[in-house]
Structure 1
Amino acid sequence: MADRILIVEDNRDILASVVDYLEIKGFEVDAIENGQAARALIQAHPYDLVVLDIGLPGMDGFTLCKELRERDRNPLPVIMLTARDAVEDRLLGFEAGADDYLVKPFALPELYQRIKAVLKRSQRNFERVLQVGELSLDTASRQVHRSAQPVKLDRKGFVLLELLMKHWPDVVSHEDLNHALWGDAPPDSAALKSHIYRLRQAVDGPFNSPMIRNVAGTGYTLVTDAQ
């Protein structure tokens, strides 16, 4: 059965192009131009993924995505689609619960590849609470614990840890980590190292066994005592 996708976009030219392309690629596609109407469709139909614009009539994309995350125990995968390209907007999108973020103008093949990647991840990690060894992360409440002790993270640290936990036990590349924080325009490599250092201080600092491991020349992964 084909994956069913909802496209929420108020630019009719973009909407028509995306719908036509994705249908050619074999998806079952519904389309709507209004945020409130999209919410009603999502409540009525079992979609596999939503491509969601931010600037919408009725209800903006940030609000709709956040509401979905608060309402649904098994969050529906969301790719934010927007003309906003500031780092703060990307972070707000991820904070609202978006799985990925694509800035306009974009190439349709790139959107297709992003959709495939998010669907693949969601099929493996369709759960509210992520658990890796003694580390747990609640995607709805945004609370993190290690050995029942709370771990305080800033916004970027949460984004990085969630990505590492969703991909565990695989290695997450530097490229994917950079994209999660800054989209297609990351700063120099020192910026990622700085945020990883802060994440390690929070997750590993109070404990004897480190869980965040650097894989030289590749990226980072999580390890447990059982490994």
Structure 2
Amino acid sequence: MRVLVLEDDPDLGPVITTALREAGFAVDFAADLAGADFKLAVNTYDCLIADRILPDGDALTLLAAQRTRGSTVPVLLLTALDAVTDRVAGFEHGADDYLVKPFAFAELTARVRTLCRRAQPARLPQLRAGDLELDLPRRRVRRAGVLLTLTAKEFAVLEVLMLRAGEVVSRTDLIERCWDENAEPLSNVVDVLIGQLRRKLGPPEIISTVRGVGYRLADPAPAL
């Protein structure tokens, strides 16, 4: 899941970005409305996290413009403006959620994950491909009943592969969904991570390589 953080505080912005990345999100960052508007135009995001008052204006203007253009990306306003009128204004301009500073990072992560899932097609909380089980709410992976330890990035890639099981998922698609703008599209980061996943998943191999294109995971069946 890829999110955009719009925050001009030079201390808080990097902290939010790091915390979300550690929670498994691919995170891009903007410090003003112009930068956020550009990134929203060229990238696809599952959620926008925005401070209200920025160097070049109020984020509500950006939000209103996005909604006018037909954007449906979920928006969480993260701001110190805590009056009822401020919150109402946020929702009236199209915000989906509102969190007042100071906040707990655990709550921010939970709210962002909920908004991201709301933006995606409804799916089962558990997926299965052969003896491989993916538990989305608990973020757990089991193979033949054995609990595996995956990094946040490995889990994110496996989730994309299982959600599109049976299809060929290109390296570009994986980078766009699981990495942020700092990832180099021509690097081998995807291939290295797939290799790590294969070693952790063990035999028989369930992720196949489609040479020159990407990867395919065996078709899953809903978990009972």
Identify whether the pair has TM-score above 0.5, normalized to the shorter chain.
yes
Change (3 A) 1:50 1:137: farther
The answer (yes or no) to whether the contact 2:50–2:75 under 8 Å persists in 1 is no
SS at match of 2:61: helix
**Matched residue, 1:57:** 101
The letter of the residue matching 1:151 is L
Tell whether 2:154 aligns with 1:157.
yes
The answer (yes or no) to whether the contact 1:6–1:30 under 8 Å persists in 2 is yes
Tell whether 2:195 aligns with 1:197.
yes
Percent identity over the alignment is 23
Deviation, structure 1 residue 68? 4.0
The answer (yes or no) to whether the contact 2:76–2:96 under 8 Å persists in 1 is no
The answer (yes or no) to whether the contact 2:49–2:78 under 8 Å persists in 1 is yes
SS at match of 1:76: helix
**Matched residue, 2:115:** 77
Deviation, structure 1 residue 217? 1.8
Deviation, structure 1 residue 211? 0.9
| Count of residues paired in the alignment | 161
The letter of the residue matching 1:200 is R
The letter of the residue matching 2:197 is L
Which of 31, 50, 63 matches 1:18?
Answer: 63
Change (3 A) 1:201 1:7: closer
Deviation, structure 1 residue 128? 2.5
Deviations for 1:91-133, whole angstroms, at most 9, x for unmatched residues? xxxxxxxx6xxxxxxxxxxxxxxxxxx83xx2142x3323233
**Matched residue, 1:145:** 142
1:3-42 to 2 correspondences below 5 Å: 9-12=50-53, 13-25=58-70, 32-34=77-79
SS at match of 1:22: helix
**Matched residue, 2:213:** 218
Change (3 A) 1:150 1:35: farther
The letter of the residue matching 1:175 is T
The letter of the residue matching 2:179 is W
Aligned-residue Cα RMSD (Å) equals: 3.9
Measured in 1, the distance between the counterparts of 2:215 and 2:48 equals 33
Q: TM-score, normalised by structure 1?
A: 0.55
The letter of the residue matching 1:170 is E
The answer (yes or no) to whether the contact 2:132–2:144 under 8 Å persists in 1 is yes
SS at match of 1:59: coil
SS at match of 2:127: strand
The answer (yes or no) to whether the contact 1:211–1:223 under 8 Å persists in 2 is yes
Deviation, structure 1 residue 196? 0.7
Q: Identify the structure with bigger relative contact order (alpha carbons < 8 Å, sequence gap 6+).
A: 2
